[in-house]
Amino acid sequence: MKKLAVCAMAILMLFAFSPVQLNAATEPALLATAAPVAIARIESSQLIERLDEIKEMDRSSLNYSQKKELRKEVRSIKSELKQRGDGIYISVGAALIIIILLIILL
């Protein structure tokens, strides 16, 4: 009786944890991850170009309200670029270890 119960539980467990390949689609799925990454990079480069345009702009001829709008635009662009996190960040501890290793090896 115990053998029958163990076999029945084993069969139920096999049905409960069926492989994902059984539910696979017949048509291959397109890679949807490449396009958003490329779009994000293009948008980031456009934002950086806009920042460069603002830096090169002659702001002496602008009035107070126009300068204020430019400051707001620069802040919004910088915050958006910061949210995207396109940069590489190294912690202080990792930087110290790298510097110490470079001193030791050189």
Residue 66 lies in a domain: yes
55 within a domain of the structure (yes/no): yes
Residue 2 placed within a domain: no
CB neighbourhood size of 71 (10 A): 11
Asked whether residue 68 is domain-assigned, the answer is yes
User: What residues make up the domain containing 60?
Assistant: 30-86
Residue 73 lies in a domain: yes
pLDDT in tens, 21-63: 555 556 655 555 556 667 778 888 899 999 999 999 888 899 9
Instruction: Give me the mean pLDDT over the 86-106 stretch.
Output: 84
* Entry pTM: 0.48
Classify residue 48: in a domain, yes or no: yes
- Could you tell me if residue 11 is inside a domain? no
Question: 18 in the Ramachandran plot: left (φ > 0), alpha (ψ -120 to 50) or beta?
Answer: beta
Q: In total, how many domains does the chain have?
A: 1
pLDDT for position 43 = 86
